Amino acid sequence: MKMLSASIAVAFGLCATAAQAADADHGKAAQRCEDAVAATIERVRGKDVQDVQFIGAKRAVTADGEDLGVKGEGRYRRNGGGVPFTYSCAVNEKTGKRDIYRMSDRGGPAQNLTNSPDVDEFDAVWNKEGNRIAFVSDRAVDSEGRHHFDIWVMDLSQPDQPTQITTNPSHDDCPAWDPQGKHLYFRSNRGGEWSIWKVGL
């Protein structure tokens, strides 16, 4: 069973390195971003995906404080045809953590929905109505002060008040909504092996 994700846009963190030339930093950010985008496309679209390519002339890297924004265009082959795509990444050089961003498919500025530089958040997926997002976060802390990756849901009307869905000392990721929006499927290594789990909302 394959887990599905609704978004190709990936918010990806990059660990801080010693100060280097801006062009070198931008190149590394773009490479990390594009590696993550390619991996997401292959996971989401399945084994039929071949030859993911990025158009260097379309790549743009901008700096905003500690964040580097990377966006561009690419193409991959699937079932004998070419499929174009656009992508956007937000790279925090200081903390190495990921955030969830939203950007119009027509382009424009990206909106940081989680804005949590000290928390790692990723695998965002929309519900069918487009008003809630399920995602993975390690923001919760257990009684021993440890962080675990759990499934959370954000209502876009209150993005600063997400709801924790799973609580388990395991790694939960790859959430996917059921068509009715009443359950989430997700991958977890609880019990010592990876399998697909289902939770009601």
Contact 91, 14 (CB under 8 A): yes
> Quick check: pTM over 0.85?
no
- Residues above pLDDT 90, as percent of the chain: 25
105 confidence band (pLDDT: 50, 70, 90): low
Give per-residue pLDDT as tens, 20-38. Answer: 344 565 677 777 778 878 8
| pLDDT recorded at residue 98 | 79
E strand or H helix at 28: helix 22-45
**In which residue are the tokens 């070419």 written?**
82
| pLDDT surpassing 50 at residue 12 | no
Choose among 111, 93, 128, 126: nearest CA to 22. 93
- Whether the pLDDT of residue 14 is over 50: the answer is no
Look over the chain and give the mean of its residue pLDDT values, rounded to a whole number.
Answer: 78
Q: Tens of pLDDT along 109-148?
A: 778 888 887 888 888 889 999 899 999 999 988 888 888 8
Tokens of 137: 């976060």
